[in-house]
Amino acid sequence: MNALLNLTLEFYRAARSAPVTGFLDVALGILKTHIPFRSATWSSGIADAGGEVLKFYSVHRYGAGLQPAQVGAMAAAARHAGCAVIHEPRHLSITDGGRAQWLSCRRDAADAHFTAHECELLGTLMPHLVEAWSINRALICGDDALDNAARFADDQALIDRNGNLLHCGRRFHEFLCAAWPAWAGTEIPMEMLAELLDQPASRRVKCGVSFRARGLGDAVLLTAQPAGALERLSPRELAISRHFGAGKSYKEIARDTRLAPATVRNVLQKAYRKLGIDNKVSLARMLELGTP
Which pLDDT score is estimated for 185?
A: 74
Residues 6+ positions from 158 with CB-CB distance below 8 Å: 20, 137, 165, 166, 167, 168, 216, 219, 220, 221, 222
Per-residue pLDDT at 28: 95
* Long-range contacts of 167-171, Cβ-Cβ distance < 8 Å, separation of 24 or more: 167/44, 167/58, 167/133, 167/137, 168/44, 168/57, 168/58, 169/57, 170/46, 170/57, 170/100, 171/224
Query: Is the dihedral angle over the CA atoms 211, 215, 218, 223 positive or is it negative?
Result: negative
Which pLDDT score is estimated for 124? 92
The residues of the chain scoring below 50 in pLDDT are 69, 143-151, 291-292
Which alpha helices (H) appear in 37-158, and where do they start and end?
Answer: 68-71, 75-78, 116-139, 143-147, 149-155
| pTM of the complete model | 0.65
Q: Rounded to whole angstroms, how far apart are CA atoms 207 and 194?
A: 18
Neighbours of 206 (CB within 10 A): 17
Domains of the chain with bracketed CATH: 2-139 (3.30.450.80), 145-226 (3.30.450), 230-289 (1.10.10.10)
Query: What is the pLDDT, as a whole number, of residue 143?
Result: 44
